[in-house]
Structure formats: structure tokens, C-alpha cells
Structure 1
Amino acid sequence: MSRSVRSNAHAAARRALLATISVTAVGLCIPAHAADAATDTAESAATPNSAGGTIVVSATRRSDATIKDTALAVTAFSGEQLERLNVTDISDLAALDPSVNIQSYGAAQNKIILRGIQSNVGATSALYLDESAVLGGQGGNILGDGKPGLRLHDIERVEVLKGPQGTLFGTSSMSGTIRVITNKPDLDTWGGHVGADLSTIEDGNPLGKVDATVNAPIVPGVLAVRVTGWAETGGGFVDQLVNDQDYYKNGNDRYVRGVRGQAKLQLSEDFSLLASVTHQRIDVDGSQAFQETNSPYLNTSPTIEIYKDKYTLASLTADYKLGFGAIVASANYTKQNVLATKDSTPTNHLYGLSADLSFVPRVWFKDFNTEIRFLSDFQGPLQLVTGAYYEHTSSLYQTNAIQAPDGVPTCFSYAECRADTSVYEFGTNTDRTIDQYALYGQADLKPFDGFTATAGIRYFQADIHDVVTNLQTVYPDFVFGIVTEPSVTGDSKGTNKYTTYNFALLWEATPDVSLYARAASGFRIGGVNTATSLAQAAGVEFPGTYDPDSLWSYEAGVKGYLFDQALYFDLTAYHVDWSDQQLSASAAGSFAYTINAGKTTSDGAELNLTLKPTSGLTLSGSATYVVSKLAEDLPADVLSAGTIGYKGDRIPLSPKWSASANADYEFPVSETLAGFVGGNVSYHGSSYSSFNDENDYNTYLPSYTLLGARLGLRGEGWEASIYGENLGNEVAIVGVVPSVDGTRMFPVQPRSFGLRFSGNF
């Protein structure tokens, strides 16, 4: 599809969406009759930033408990709070909790970093949507950690579980787990919600968002369905100048559309079924980053860099209550297709090829997993969680080097390019299957009131099989040699086994204050370097596989209430020992692969405060300090591979200091209306993309401070506000990709002002 056709189609979609926003806004401006006084509205709206005892969490996967009574570091945010602070994307959580360091690569690709644990390779943290792990294609030159950019609409709460969660949540949770809990179908009440948001972006295109939810009890008390839909369009602010001729203004417009449907069947008082399907598509018209050597928001790549992500997650959960506990069983299916073009013309020139080149990674990802667990409800001092887990993953990663003489490739995969093989230079297919098995158990013992001891264990095994195929090319000057037929160039199998542990103590020193200590381990599977065969054809050698990495984390904390519960506080200190860290290395400036390093330590502290000094006023703040660094020089084989790191070097992309603060004041305007005003500030410290300047393309990411403000009115069931974001108009870099093709800087959205309306019915 040509760029003009894409632009016209997306322009039409934007006009339709903006019209919908206008109609919704008019409807929501009609005053509603309020049954409660404005003072009651103001009181019910106050939700602390760090939820304290207000929001219950399910971090133990056994039963809901307050944060104060959970023996690990947790922050939680209600759906109401997320909506009022315009948090509609996982990446927005970094503004609420600075310990959540999220590297963002545009509209969909993210890397979640907790407590300085990150490696530029795959995921070190887990993301869950209810009972379903949110999974996606990792590797294959796709940025981020493979998780799709799911939008947050109709959410009950979000929990951030810090530190390893390997016992209860598996191998992808080395540094922690983020849980998104959705609102479930209401079996008895019809209703819903609508929201609309229209904002202007400084020197960019307008951004429009809408969302709507409908809850329908089909058979009251027995069967209900709940459907939520959302859409976004516009928002481009990165310009592109192609070969000093064609200029594309605000080329990174995005078009997001998604839907989540849920059905709950209450077969009896003790047995229920919940079926859920989430589907989302994201298309981005052009480059979402600018080169470090350019002025902000200007990309000068000679090829257009589009992005497409189609994601589906289907799940079925059964909940059966026994007299002494419950059994929860779930089955989940994920399917994801990703296309992420990147200009690679400089690399083409490096090998003596003159054509403009688009490097097109493709991912076709499928996953099925099922889990069954028993949750006890014994009368005595002992409680248990035990379970079994199985997962089968099938992934096809394809890399394609395709000439783009007019700025856009005429084809985007090997199959599509076979009709015109003269533009297809080279590529690889990596067909990967992984089978994972796990058994786990965790026990909580309360020998006396106010004291809980926890011990957990998980045994895990993963069987990995990779088949790498070098794809056909007939390009006459192909520097690596002509391949006339697709051929298998690598067939590798391996098995990883590991056991993770969790030990914790919780002491309720007073009814309002708890202290805890915890030691837990985490683990991540190894894999195969997919570019090995292609590099060997070019005379470049590096290891064909990489090993698992693992860590132990030790933490202690105190949390609770002071001053007659006017102040909630949560203070945690931790130390992490990480071994065989998986790192991204580069050979000959062009071939990325994964290698294991030596030892890494991470030491830090986290503080969360929420203060309610007077009625209607809520002040909250968080601060994070972390020093994540190499505990020894990288091994000789790593140093010789071009990844240079010495004892004491900081882990890339990990700032020492981050902080945020938020203030909300709500006041009565009349008997039916309440006004509100609020502001927020977030600070993110500086970091580097590599260990030190001996690494090629090491890039400095400066610190930044983002300011926001909001002002509005709310009545019973509706709310209208105006807001501003990035008021200082900082060029804040939240993602970086250094390479011979030019270091790409991914920025936050420039200063924007908007109108937001929402209402319930």
C-alpha cells in the first residue's frame, strides 16, 4: 500500500473519530441530576496514589489483601485514578510510580524495567491481564520486550509487584510483575461508560481518543456480558526529510483500535466461568524516532519506517469454590503479528551496496498456556497455594533486507517479494518452538496473630527448538554470496531447568504498621542467536546459543499509617545479585546477538507517601534510588565480542534517581457539582545506552522533568476537564536504539493541551 493511500485512509478515520468525540462531548456537557451532595462526591473520589489500605491486591494469588498486609513491595492504582490522570497506556505508569522504568519505542513497543534489572535482551518482568500472561514476540530485531502496547480502559486496578515473582508468576518475572485487573461483567445491572479526549500537540497533529463500555445482564444473576472498545487517531509530531527532497510533516500519526469482550456465567453459587477476548490493532504511518545528530523531531532516513501490530488474547477461566478453598483453572491463547520497518541504508553502504535499504523484521507469534491451582481457605494457621502450568509457544521471526528506491518497499516479506526478487537482498527465517512446564507451591503460616511466615518453590523446565533458514536472493552483487534456494542453516535444541524460591516474614507491629523481610529468586530461559548463519556467510563468527540467567533478591520494608491514618507510607530497601546476565552484543557493526556476562548487583530504596491533610485534598509522592552496576569485569569472550564493561560500570538505561509527585484538590461548587484541580510532576534521572564509552555508539540519555495540570467539574456519573501535559515542552528521551544506521532517539509527546469528557450510564 502506498503512503498516500495509507494517509488518506487514516485521515478519513481521524475525521470520523473526531466527529464522534464532538458528539460525545456535547452529550456529556448536559448536566445530570445528582442524588448526592457535592461534598460526598468529593470524598468518594479521593484515591491515594500508593493505595495503602484503600485498594486490595491479589499479589499472593490466594486471596485479596491490603497492601499493608502483603509481604512484598507493592503499589496499586485504581481504575478511577488511572482515568483521571489520563493513564491509558502501560508506559504512562512511569509518571505515577518512578520505580517503574519503562523504555518506550513509540505507540506500541515497550521495555519494562524494575529495580535496575534490564539487559537489552527480552523481558525481565511480567505483565498480566487478569489471569492471562500478556506475551508477544521477543527478539527478531523487534524493539522492546515483546509485550504489545495494550491500552488501559475499563480497569478495576493495576498492581505493581516489585522484586522476583518467579514462584507464583513464572520465568518472565525476574524483576517483578505488573498486573492489570479489568472490571468484570455485572450479573445484575445494566450500564456502561463513555469517554472522549481531544488534544492539540505543539507543532504536531491533533490526537483524538474515544472509549465506551456496555454491561448487559442477559440472564440476571446467571449470565452477563461486558464489552469495551477504544480508538485513537492522529498525534504525529516527528517530521521526515527523505533524500533532501520529500518532506513528511508529523509523519508518525497512529491509528489504534481495540475491543475487549467478556462473558460471565454463574452456574451455581460456587461455580463460575469467565470468557474473555481482547483484540487490538496499531498502525503507525512513519518514523517514531529522530536521529541523535539531527534537531529534535526530525528524521532524515531515506526510507519510510512504518509499524503494524495486530494482537489477540483469548482466555477462559473457571472458578470452583470448595468448603476449604477454591480451584481456579485457566486456558489462554495469544496471537500476534508485527511488522516494524527500519531504515538500514548506512549498513547497505557499509557493504558496498548503493541502494536505499529498508530492514523489515516480521514476527508471527502464537502461544497457548494453561494453569490450574488450588487456593486454600483452611480454618487453622496454615494456608496454601499449589498449581501446575504448561505453555507451548510457536514463533516465526523473519528478517528481510529490501530495497526501497522510492522510500517505501514494494513488498514486506520474503513471500511477498518473490514476485520481484530483484529488490530482495537477503533474509532469514527463525522458526522457534518452546514447551514449558512448571509445578509450584507456596505456604503461609500464622503461628500467632500479627505474624506470617511464607515459603514458596517453583520447578520449571523449558524445551527449546530453533530452525534457522537462510532465505533466497538473486541480487547480483549480494555481498554474502548468492543463495538460489531456501536452505536450513541451523537446527538447535536445548533444555533449561531451574528452581525458584520465595521466603518472607511479615510482622504487624501495630494495627496500622507492618514490617517485612523477603528473599526470592528469579530465572530467565536461554536461547539461540538467530543471525549466526547469516553472519558466518559474511565471515563473522559469534556463539550460536546463550545460557539462562538468574538472580537472588533480598529486601526489607516497613509500611502503614501514621497521624490517625492521615499519612500512608511505604519504605523498602533491597539488594539483588544477578548472574550470567544476558546482554546484546554486536559483531562487525551489523549483526546483533546475545551473550552471557558475569555478575551484576543492584542496590536501592523506594519510598511512597500519601497524605490527606484536609477533606478533599490528597498529596502523594514517590522516590526511587537505585545503583545497578557490574560486580566484576565482563568475561574475556564478552569483551572480545565488542561489549565492553568493567567492574563498577552502571547497567545501561538505569537512572540512579527518579521521583514523582501528585496533588489533587476537590471542592464543592454547588449541591450537584464538585470542582477539582490537580497537578503532577515526574523526574527521570540520566542514564547511558551502554556500560561505557568504549562501546560503539554509547549514547547519553539526559535527565528530564515532566509537568502536568488539570482542572474540571464532576457531578454524579460524569466528569469534564481541561488538561496540559509536558508543560515545559521538554525533549524527553524515553527510548534509544544505537547502531551504525544512526542512533535513534524516541521522545515523549511535546507539550499538549486537551479536553476530556467521561460519563456513566
Structure 2
Amino acid sequence: MDIRRTIIAAAVLAAFSGQVWAQQPSPDEIEVVKVTAQKRQEDPAKVAMSISAITGTQLQAEQVRDITDLTRVVPNISFTAASGNGGAGPGTSNVEIRGISSTAGAATVGIYLGDTPVTVGNVYTMGNIEPRFFDIDRVEVLRGPQATLYGASSMGGTIKFVPNEPDLKEREFTTYTEGSNTKGGSANYAANVVANFPLIADELALRIGVQAQHTGGYIDQVDGAGNVIANNINQISDQELRASLKWRPTRALTVTPSVYYQRIDARDIAAFNLELPAYQAQKQVREPSVDKLLAPSVTVNWDLGAVDLTSATSYFQRKFDRTQNGSAYNSYSLSTFLTSTDDGGKAPPALIEAIAGLPSAVYLNNQVRQVSQEFRLASRPYDEKVSPWTWLVGTYFSRQHTNIIENDPIFGVTETFQQFGFDIADPDLLPDARPGQFPNDNSFAGAFHYREKQGSLFGELNYYFTPTVHATVGARYLKANTTLEQRNGNYLAGAGNNSGAETTSKAFTPKYALTWEVDPSNTVYTSVAKGFRLGGANIYVPPTTCGPDLEANGITAGPPSYSPDSLWSYEVGSKSRFLNNRLTVNADVFYVKWKNIQQGVYLPTCAYTYNANAGDATTKGFEFDIKAKPLPGLTLSASGGYVKAELSNDVGIDNGVVGAVAGARIQGVPNYNAAVNATYNFSAWERPAFVMGGVQWVGSSKGSLDPSQTDHDRPAYHTANFSAGMTFGAYAFTLFVKNAFDTDTIIQHPQVASIVQGYRLAPRSLGVSLATKF
């Protein structure tokens, strides 16, 4: 399917439209996007926390396609690769807010798809779930600990993807088609169709949509001689389906069942070898992945008169199958164990060289399943004539199972030994070798099963001293049980491992806030909140393969477990609207004390990771968000954030975390990010038209605590996007350019075994889009 065919298909759909959507001139006032940050819909200017709310229309207009794009336009959000993954594949990145960055243990940022929590732990084989921005009403980014209402995995904050709901009144049919081409790469295209059907007027409605996208690649695979084997290997295709039903049998009761499904197929990761010509990857084994998410849910809202009852029942299942190129460490590690004839052993140098050059794969089959249930009761919104109190109480239960199956074949290893006249099980040739340790050439086999059970009670209480001044006290009591059962075998597992571990955690996470509405247009607030993460057991690290790496960290074995960590956050902010809401200014400052910080320790030679506690840390900084409409049709915005995130003691060194000294910057945290955007809506030849431009800056960061690692110093970079469009009769047509100045800064460059990889922004792409609505 090429771009021309995609655009023609959309044009055919648009030809049957009655009323066509187009970008219309905005009203004089700045749009107020209501949020559900506190589990009820309200004006964000009245909420005592730092919030960014971006509408689906704004995401589309500013070419925000995924979470990594979101981190460049929202203050103090960042992303980094899960340890050892190269930072280059979908589903392998971790998201951080306000410098609360960790690739170990539980997540530091909660991810919600509507009322469905889809947060997964930071295991070494995968990162955050990344819902596509499809049929989204808005994305809410809540900065600061959200433990009171969202639980233990929201230390840094929470990101909520809020989908569009079925409309009980209006029938609607929309299409969107887009095509573009990447400089030096292949084509990109996307198409979606969304329909809303009121089945029974004012009582029952169905909303259903489908989407298909393809992102072209720009990295070529080459062989050892530099010959191109395959072009544009880092292509990604994805498909989404969203369906929801809204049933309102009475004015007081609404039931909303929904289901979301997405499948993301990546042909390879977006990493290239820095030692080779630009954007080339020399690898013996390709690294594809398939990431599937299924998330059904049922939400019930019942107006009981004095209170509102909400029940949110949800389930999600993630299946993430991926292949990593293990040639640089599995084959090489095995070759180092052979007893060389030069040292009095039996292995000739030619055999050692042949083993080191064999291709090897790491096959990872990941599955996460979670069922959760939340009940909550909420009082009516504040009414000074009724009561000075408002409140919300609830309970939450969840059960999450994570299964990881790993197999690491070294292709042709048995035959290679035989070609040199040796038995692979000869212990005089390969120390500690035994028969059956390379079944079907498999050098390592592992099975890991995590189980996590959580139960909690939570609530918030507001007291209004006056209609303009109120205090908030909230708390959550959480109890959790986590287990890890693991089995490891074959030669690179050493003596093998078959073990289990269990931990039980309890936490009390309070929150205090004071809000003063100075006048209807100006609010100031202050808050203090606690965040918490569970501890857990570590995956077994085989000493046979990883011995040198462990010794370099000052230990002889991987630690069996890691401890919980927690933090306290202090924040002061203001939210103001001026000139009849033609100018809004939101700003805040924060200070966070983080205790017993969990961090992932990556072992570069054997490519294993274990979790450890790296002492204490502090993060401090500020955020601002300014929007203005100085002239009719012109909208200007500027946002940004600064954060200084550093370790505050040397405790991590004692736990084998190299570089974990006081003053070391926490990994993966840019010291600033900022974005400016301008949109001008006007009329040309009596047709609605617009032009838009935006620039984003991201500061420097540290990819590792260890100064000797290649990814220790990550540079600052910037990017820019522009677009323009006009309505022609039945069609809303847009031209756009993303990464307009073709920024090619190497923003991450981790070392995987002996290979230094590079990761950059996607090169400049030029494209067109066509949208309809009727």
C-alpha cells in the first residue's frame, strides 16, 4: 500500500461526507480543558497540582505521535531505554517525570488508559506500555506523587490517556489519512475511521474506530564487508481497534463497557553502529518484536443523590515477543571459557575464533496479565449553602502476573565443535561442561514468573474555611505481596538455578494541600505528598557468564533482592488567567527527597541486569506553561521545565552500583526541556486556513551513573515541526514537516557488549493529511 493509494482512499470516503471537519478559527478565549486528575471532572486551574492537559486535536496538529514525542512538548517529562535495550524499540522505554528516573523495580510513572491501569514493572526485557494516540479526547500529565488516588507506581506522576466517549445524541463519522516520506528512508502512512451511532436516543450509543499506521525506517543492515543486506530495517507497523458502548437506562445510572486492542510490529530496533557510516547496523541477527495489548473494561457511574458511586472493573493483557542480537555477548562469552592451546589447554585458536564469530539470538517471550477493581464514593461538588466538606473514598484491588521465557541459542555451536574434532561436553575443553547443556544449540534457558497482589484503601477530604480557601488531606493504605519463581539452565546459566522468593510490603502515603482562590482568575496552592514503590526479588545473574562484570562492580554474585524506596515531594504553584482568559500563566516550583532509590545495574559484557538500591537523592526544579491570544486568530504558547536530580550520598557504591556517589546526576533526566508554538487561523479566498510552527528543546542528561560507560554523557538537542492547511469544499487538507531542520544529534549511545550503539530522532519527514467529519 503506497501513499498515493492511501490518500485516494481517504478522498473517496470524504466525497460521501455531508458536514466536513476543518480547522476553524479559534474563539478569542483560550480553551479550558477539563481534567479528571482527582477522579472527578473539574477545571485544572482549581486543582492543587501541576497538570498538563493536551487535547487529541492538539496532539494531531503538533505532530505528537507517541510518548517520546510527548516528552518533548510537556515540561519535565523524559524517557530512557530499559537497561541494555539501546533505547531504540517500541515498548522498551521507561518514562520519567520530575527526575524520578529508575530502570529498576516497579514503575515510577503510572500509566492509565481511561480507568484501566496499564502500568508494568521495569523488568529488563521491556519498558512501559505505550498506547497509541487514537481517538483520544485528551492526555493528562499529572506531575508529582499521585499515590493517594493512583497507588504505589506513581512516584513521579501519572499519565492518563482519556478516550472519546460515545455520544448519546449525535451520529458522527470521521476519517483521517496521512502520508509522508522520511529523508533517506521509506514512506510513512496512517489511516483511521471512527463512527458514533446513537442506537436508542439519549439511552444507548456505540462508538467504534479502527486505525492502521506504518512508520518507515532509515537504518540499513550491513555485513562485515560493509555490503547492504537490507534497507530501512527499523520499520514499524501498528493497528488499533477501540469500541465502547454507553448505556444510560436511567438519568442516574450510566454503564460504559469498552475494549481497546493494539498490535505493534517492529521489524528491527532503531539503533545503529557508531563505528560505521551513518545509520548502518552490522548485526548477524535481526531484532524484530511484536507487542500486543488487549484492555477491556466496564465503568459504572451511579448518582445516588447525595453521593456518586463509581465502579471500574478492568483487565489488560500484554504479549511482547522480541528478539535481541546476542552474538556480541553469548558467542563471545562462550569463546572466552575455552581452554586455549596457547595456555596449555585443548582448544586451538581457530576454534576459539570460530565460536566467537557464531550468530546468537536472545528470544524473549513476555506476557503480563492484570485484573483490577476499584470502587469509590464521592460527595457532591462544593456548595457553600450545603456543607464546607467534600470528600472521596475508595478501595482498589489488583492481581498482576508477569511471565518471561528466555532462550539464547548459539546457532551452529555443536556442529562447529564437531568440525574441529571435539565434543562440546568435554570438560577439559570447556570447563564445567556436561552432556545436554546445549540442547538444540541453546546456551541459556530461563523462565521467570512474577506475581503481584495489591489491596488498598484511599480517600481525600476537603474542608472549605471560606468559599475561596480550602485544605485537602488525603491518604492511602496499601498492602502488597510479590513473588518471583525462576528456573535457569544450560551452560551459560552455570550450575543453574531453581528458586523462589516472596516479599510483603505495607505503605501509608499521605497528602496535604492548601488552595487559595485569590479571585476567580487566580489560584495559588501548596502541597506535600509521599510516594512509594515496592521492593522485590532479582533475576538470577549467572556467575559463569557475568563473573568479570560482577567483579568490576566489587561483588561476586548478583544480589538476591532489592528494598522498597519512597519519597516526599513539596510543591508551591500558581494558576492565573488574565485579559478575559486571553492569557494563562501556570507555574510551580518543587523539591523532592528520595530515599533508598532503586536503580538497574547493567552488566555490559554479558548483557544482564540486576536491581540495587543506590542511596538517597534529591530533585528540585520548576515548570511553567503560558498561553496567549494577543490577536484574533493568533495563539502563542510556551512551556518548559528545569530539574536538578542528583544522588545525595555514596550508599550505592556499597551495593555495587558503579558511579553512585553524592552529586552524581540521576540517569535519564534532562536538566531542562522547553517548547514554543504559534498557530495563526485566518481566511484565505474565503476559505478557513491556518499555519503552525513549533520548536522543542531538550537538555543534556546522563545515560548511566558509571562515568566509564559510553552513554554517560547525553547531549542536548532540539527539533522543529511546521504545518499549514486549508479547507477546500469537502476536504480539510494539511501539509506538514516534522523535524524540519533534520536534527541528527546522537541523543543516546549505549554500549551493548562490545558494540556502541547510536539512537537519534527520526530524520526529517514531509507529508500531507486529509480529514473529514460528518
Which of residues 502, 505, 519 in structure 1 aligns to 2:514? 505
CA distance in 2, matches of 1:209, 1:749: 17
Helix, strand or coil at the partner of 2:24: helix
The one-character-per-residue Cα deviations of 1:578-626 (angstroms, maximum 9, x if unpaired) are 0111111145842310001211000101111101101100000012111
The answer to whether residue 271 in structure 2 is matched with residue 289 in structure 1 is: yes
The one-character-per-residue Cα deviations of 1:430-449 (angstroms, maximum 9, x if unpaired) are 11111111100101111202
1:682 matched residue in structure 2: 696
The answer to whether residue 37 in structure 2 is matched with residue 23 in structure 1 is: no
The one-character-per-residue Cα deviations of 1:677-719 (angstroms, maximum 9, x if unpaired) are 01000000111211251x4444322111101110111379852
CA distance in 1, matches of 2:572, 2:499: 47
Give the conservation status (yes or no) of the 8 Å contact 1:32–1:718.
no
Give the conservation status (yes or no) of the 8 Å contact 2:308–2:378.
yes
CA distance in 1, matches of 2:91, 2:277: 24
Give, in angstroms, the shift of residue 336 of structure 1: 1.0
Letter in 2 for 1:499: F
Give the conservation status (yes or no) of the 8 Å contact 2:706–2:712.
no
| Runs of 4+ residues over 6 Å off in structure 1 | 29-35
Give, in angstroms, the shift of residue 98 of structure 1: 3.3
Q: Unaligned 5+ residue runs, structure 1?
A: 1-13, 407-417
1:88 matched residue in structure 2: 65
Give the conservation status (yes or no) of the 8 Å contact 1:455–1:504.
yes
Give, in angstroms, the shift of residue 258 of structure 1: 1.1
Letter in 2 for 1:505: L
The answer to whether residue 353 in structure 2 is matched with residue 335 in structure 1 is: no
CA distance in 2, matches of 1:735, 1:503: 38
Moved more, 555-564 or 94-103: 94-103
Give, in angstroms, the shift of residue 360 of structure 1: 2.2
The alpha-carbon distance between structure 1 residues 297 and 709, as it changes in their structure 2 partners (threshold 3 A), is same
The answer to whether residue 601 in structure 2 is matched with residue 585 in structure 1 is: yes
The alpha-carbon distance between structure 1 residues 468 and 264, as it changes in their structure 2 partners (threshold 3 A), is same
TM-score normalised according to structure 2 size: 0.87
Letter in 1 for 2:397: Y
1:116 matched residue in structure 2: 99
Give the conservation status (yes or no) of the 8 Å contact 2:220–2:231.
yes
Q: How do 1:40-439 residues align onto structure 2 when only pairs under 5 Å count?
A: 41-44=24-27, 54-61=32-39, 63-103=40-80, 105-121=88-104, 122-136=106-120, 138-139=122-123, 141-144=124-127, 147-244=128-225, 247-348=229-330, 349-352=332-335, 353-354=355-356, 355-377=358-380, 379-404=386-411, 421-439=439-457
CA distance in 1, matches of 2:729, 2:510: 48
Letter in 1 for 2:629: K
Give the conservation status (yes or no) of the 8 Å contact 1:529–1:594.
yes
Give the aligned length.
Answer: 710
CA RMSD of aligned residues (A): 2.5
Q: How do 1:504-523 residues align onto structure 2 when only pairs under 5 Å count?
A: 504-523=513-532
Give the conservation status (yes or no) of the 8 Å contact 2:709–2:750.
no
CA distance in 2, matches of 1:460, 1:126: 16
Give the conservation status (yes or no) of the 8 Å contact 2:209–2:243.
yes
Give the conservation status (yes or no) of the 8 Å contact 2:360–2:411.
yes
CA distance in 2, matches of 1:642, 1:97: 31
Give the conservation status (yes or no) of the 8 Å contact 1:681–1:708.
yes
CA distance in 2, matches of 1:479, 1:515: 59
Give the conservation status (yes or no) of the 8 Å contact 1:105–1:143.
no
Helix, strand or coil at the partner of 1:659: strand
Give, in angstroms, the shift of residue 20 of structure 1: 3.6
Give the conservation status (yes or no) of the 8 Å contact 2:601–2:657.
yes
CA distance in 2, matches of 1:522, 1:733: 34
Letter in 1 for 2:248: Q
Give the conservation status (yes or no) of the 8 Å contact 1:213–1:227.
yes
Helix, strand or coil at the partner of 1:456: strand
CA distance in 2, matches of 1:294, 1:254: 23
Q: How do 1:726-745 residues align onto structure 2 when only pairs under 5 Å count?
A: 726-733=739-746, 737-745=750-758
The alpha-carbon distance between structure 1 residues 751 and 30, as it changes in their structure 2 partners (threshold 3 A), is farther
Helix, strand or coil at the partner of 2:762: coil
Give the conservation status (yes or no) of the 8 Å contact 1:432–1:467.
yes
The alpha-carbon distance between structure 1 residues 568 and 394, as it changes in their structure 2 partners (threshold 3 A), is same
1:661 matched residue in structure 2: 676
Give, in angstroms, the shift of residue 723 of structure 1: 0.4
Q: Unaligned 5+ residue runs, structure 2?
A: 81-86, 336-354, 414-435, 548-555
The one-character-per-residue Cα deviations of 1:460-519 (angstroms, maximum 9, x if unpaired) are 111011111114x4xxxx355587xxxx61111110111111111111112211110010
CA distance in 1, matches of 2:20, 2:369: 49
Helix, strand or coil at the partner of 1:65: coil
Moved more, 198-207 or 554-563: 554-563
CA distance in 1, matches of 2:517, 2:63: 35
Give, in angstroms, the shift of residue 31 of structure 1: 9.3
Moved more, 683-692 or 742-751: 742-751
Give, in angstroms, the shift of residue 562 of structure 1: 2.5
The alpha-carbon distance between structure 1 residues 289 and 751, as it changes in their structure 2 partners (threshold 3 A), is same
1:490 matched residue in structure 2: 499
CA distance in 1, matches of 2:370, 2:749: 29
Give, in angstroms, the shift of residue 100 of structure 1: 2.0
Letter in 2 for 1:279: Y
The answer to whether residue 763 in structure 2 is matched with residue 750 in structure 1 is: yes
Q: How do 1:428-507 residues align onto structure 2 when only pairs under 5 Å count?
A: 428-471=446-489, 473=490, 478=491, 480-481=493-494, 489-507=498-516
CA distance in 1, matches of 2:20, 2:164: 24
Give the conservation status (yes or no) of the 8 Å contact 2:76–2:672.
no
The answer to whether residue 598 in structure 2 is matched with residue 567 in structure 1 is: no
Give the conservation status (yes or no) of the 8 Å contact 1:18–1:208.
no
Give the conservation status (yes or no) of the 8 Å contact 2:246–2:255.
yes
Give, in angstroms, the shift of residue 96 of structure 1: 2.3
Letter in 1 for 2:392: V
The alpha-carbon distance between structure 1 residues 651 and 33, as it changes in their structure 2 partners (threshold 3 A), is closer
TM-score normalised according to structure 1 size: 0.89
CA distance in 2, matches of 1:68, 1:697: 43
CA distance in 1, matches of 2:323, 2:545: 24
Helix, strand or coil at the partner of 1:705: strand
The answer to whether residue 768 in structure 2 is matched with residue 759 in structure 1 is: no
Give the conservation status (yes or no) of the 8 Å contact 1:287–1:299.
no
1:5 matched residue in structure 2: none
